[in-house]
A and B are shown apart, each in its own frame.
Chain A
Amino acid sequence: MYKRDIYTVTENRPLSAKTMLMVLEGDTQYIGSAGEFVNVAVEGKFLRRPISICDYDGQTITLLYDIVGEGTKIMSQLTPGAKLDLLTGLGRGFSEDKECLRPALLGGGIGCAPLYNLAKKLLARGVRPVVILGFNTAKDVVAKEMFERLGAEVYVATVDGSMGTKGFVTDVVREKSLECDYFYACGPMPMLRAVCGDLEWSGEVSLDERMACGFGVCMCCSVETRSGAKRICKEGPVFMKEDLIWK
């Protein structure tokens, strides 16, 4: 089921120069799994902004978002007490119950967001994920401590080498000779392509594409897969690596 509701901002603070953490209070009963997203109505903007659910519980939703354009800029200026119109219950998230012992959670930039709730749930059922976060440079690094506080094993890669491994998340796997049996990934397309191409493990990835509705009726987000055309907002955003076609 989908739900539109009005949520109250209880927290909205910068984690870095471009990344914000927002906590919203309201109805979360339609959120089913890690990797789902919300669609945020921004005052004065025609389309909603899709943002992954970083974490949620009975009353709250946490979002991590980068300020990239006008919509996210407006979001970043909201103060506690502000109201936001959100659609929830959107998308099909990660397979939280996948049989695996040591999955890699690969986040590229803000793509780390949906992996947080996933890591929490994996740890809760005794699975020990390896979290690998990739950023451009040390000052962009966010969420590292959040994952560490959960008790996960965390590695960082930066393109300029200013923190952790120099290079991409896939370079960490190589450098540390990490042995995993599955992966979950979210990040920019070039990173997802590299992850799906380089890693021999099976896995699933969360795609990012421009959307209009976010609930499956406009076909603006439809991607060709090996099992036919799929809507990223409805059958996705999470897809099996084996299902994706890289052109």
Chain B
Amino acid sequence: MERDMKVTLSGVTLDNPVIPASGCFGYGYGMSEFYDINILGSISFKGTTREARYGNPLPRVAECSAGMINAVGLQNPGIDAVISEELPKMREKFHKPIIANISGFSIDEYVECCRKIDSQEQVAIIELNVSCPNVHGGGMSFGTSPNSVAEVVRAVKKVITKPLYVKLTPNVTDIVAIAKAAEEAGADGICLINTMLGMRIDTRTRRPIIANKMGGFSGAAVFPVAVRMVYQVSKACSIPVIGCGGVETAADVIEMMMAGATAVEVGAANLRNPYACKEIIEALPKEMERLGIERLTDIIGIVE
């Protein structure tokens, strides 16, 4: 039997729910040296800021059991160069609508970047990364307070026409309060989770492995945390949720969807296995058959 893998995010229909997560797939065209990336549901490109950013000093990565810590520091060429150089290259290799991951260090910056990216035909959804520190708010991350999340969402919604998904940081006490604040402020969807704050130490040199000391922990190890948060948020909100965090297999995708995700992003798994998304998509029909699933949309949030 033909298995239906199509899902719809705020009116945007994807052939399947598998989306490489921001920062783990570049702008896609590099990955097309491994396989034809048009099998993907969509792609979320690298977090983009107003100005070009070099990011943090090296080393930027530390390995963990079943995961990794990164402190890239949002290296990107800046919104104008992304639009003039990266998006055309991306379009050559990927012929489907994409997700634009936007970061900022002030409300003005988010607004300006979102306004610019909104007019790009390729872009179907804007994904707001609110894990960045607010330089006007004492350096606290936007995503750690319901008020500041709501403030950014309201400001951005005024200047865009496309669906806005807010990508939340898990480094908070009450994820539901933050998600609800985003929904009430007008967000069209929620994406979670971003990385968890972590640290590794080189016991020989007695120094942190990462130059920035701390960084974002992700990979298979965070999967249960992501499932839990997707579950809590999808139960509390009525807007769609994109689940992200530790996904490595087709079974993980189905589990994430049962928890409440409409689509699923795959991050760090791509870095070890560049074919991770392809293998997941190819394995999905078999896994659906094994679990007696005809349409993926039937299982979204099926868990009570």
Binding site for B on A (CB under 8 A): 1-2, 4, 41, 45-48, 87, 89, 209-213, 215-224, 229, 234
* Stretch from B29-37, B100-108, B111-119, B188-196 at the A interface: B29-37
**Distance of A58 from chain B, by nearest CB (Å):** 22
Question: Given A213-B24, A219-B60, A221-B61, 11 other A-B contacts at CB below 8 A?
Answer: A41-B273, A46-B68, A47-B272, A209-B58, A210-B59, A215-B33, A217-B26, A218-B70, A220-B61, A222-B75, A223-B58
Contact B58 A219, beta carbon cutoff 8 Å? no
Closest to A247 in B: B57
Binding site for A on B (CB under 8 A): 23-26, 30-31, 33-34, 46, 54-55, 58-68, 70, 72, 75, 209, 219-220, 268, 270-275
Contact B75 A219, beta carbon cutoff 8 Å? yes
| A-B pairs, 9 with minimum CB distance | A217-B26, A220-B61, A213-B271, A210-B59, A219-B75, A220-B60, A212-B271, A219-B72, A212-B61
- Note all chain B residues with C-beta closer than 8 A to A234: 30
- Note all chain B residues with C-beta closer than 8 A to A211: 61
Bound-state CA distance A56–B109 (Å) is: 50
- Note all chain A residues with C-beta closer than 8 A to B54: 222, 224, 229
User: Given A218-B70, A222-B55, is A48 in contact with B31 using a C-beta cutoff of 8 Å?
Assistant: no
CB contact between B46 and one of A41, A48, A219, A221 (< 8 Å): that residue: A219
Bound-state CA distance A110–B8 (Å) is: 52
**Distance of A164 from chain B, by nearest CB (Å):** 28
Contact B25 A217, beta carbon cutoff 8 Å? yes
Bound-state CA distance A90–B55 (Å) is: 23
CB contact between B63 and one of A47, A89, A209, A223 (< 8 Å): that residue: A47
- Note all chain B residues with C-beta closer than 8 A to A220: 59-61, 70, 72
Bound-state CA distance A219–B56 (Å) is: 10
Contact B274 A4, beta carbon cutoff 8 Å? yes
Bound-state CA distance A28–B68 (Å) is: 29
24 contacts between A and B (CB under 8 A): A4-B274, A46-B65, A46-B67, A46-B219, A46-B220, A47-B63, A89-B33, A210-B60, A212-B61, A212-B268, A212-B271, A213-B271, A215-B30, A215-B274, A216-B26, A218-B70, A218-B72, A218-B271, A219-B55, A219-B72, A220-B72, A221-B60, A221-B61, A222-B54
| Interface SS, B side | loop
Closest to B26 in A: A217
- Note all chain B residues with C-beta closer than 8 A to A224: 54
**Distance of B39 from chain A, by nearest CB (Å):** 17
User: Given A48-B272, A224-B54, is A212 in contact with B33 using a C-beta cutoff of 8 Å?
Assistant: no
Contact A47 B271, beta carbon cutoff 8 Å? yes
Contact A219 B23, beta carbon cutoff 8 Å? yes
Bound-state CA distance A225–B268 (Å) is: 27
Closest to B75 in A: A219
CB contact between B24 and one of A209, A218, A222, A223 (< 8 Å): that residue: A218
Contact A1 B33, beta carbon cutoff 8 Å? yes
- Note all chain B residues with C-beta closer than 8 A to A4: 34, 273-275
Closest to B215 in A: A220
- Note all chain B residues with C-beta closer than 8 A to A2: 33-34, 274
Q: Which of B23, B55, B272 has the most CB of A within 10 A?
A: B272
- Note all chain B residues with C-beta closer than 8 A to A209: 58-59
**Distance of A87 from chain B, by nearest CB (Å):** 7
Bound-state CA distance A109–B66 (Å) is: 31
Bound-state CA distance A43–B132 (Å) is: 34
- Note all chain A residues with C-beta closer than 8 A to B34: 2, 4, 215
Contact B68 A229, beta carbon cutoff 8 Å? no
Contact A210 B65, beta carbon cutoff 8 Å? no
Bound-state CA distance A183–B79 (Å) is: 39
Bound-state CA distance A221–B275 (Å) is: 21
Closest to B221 in A: A46
Closest to A211 in B: B61
- Note all chain A residues with C-beta closer than 8 A to B268: 46, 212
Bound-state CA distance A77–B235 (Å) is: 49
Bound-state CA distance A128–B53 (Å) is: 43
- Note all chain B residues with C-beta closer than 8 A to A212: 61, 68, 70, 268, 271
Bound-state CA distance A223–B24 (Å) is: 18
Bound-state CA distance A209–B65 (Å) is: 20
Closest to B62 in A: A210
Contact A221 B272, beta carbon cutoff 8 Å? no
- Note all chain B residues with C-beta closer than 8 A to A213: 24, 270-271, 274
**Distance of A207 from chain B, by nearest CB (Å):** 10
Q: Which of A89, A210, A217, A234 has the most CB of B within 10 A?
A: A217
Contact B271 A217, beta carbon cutoff 8 Å? yes
Bound-state CA distance A219–B58 (Å) is: 10
- Note all chain B residues with C-beta closer than 8 A to A218: 23-24, 26, 61, 70, 72, 271
Q: Which of B54, B60, B220, B275 has the most CB of A within 10 A?
A: B60
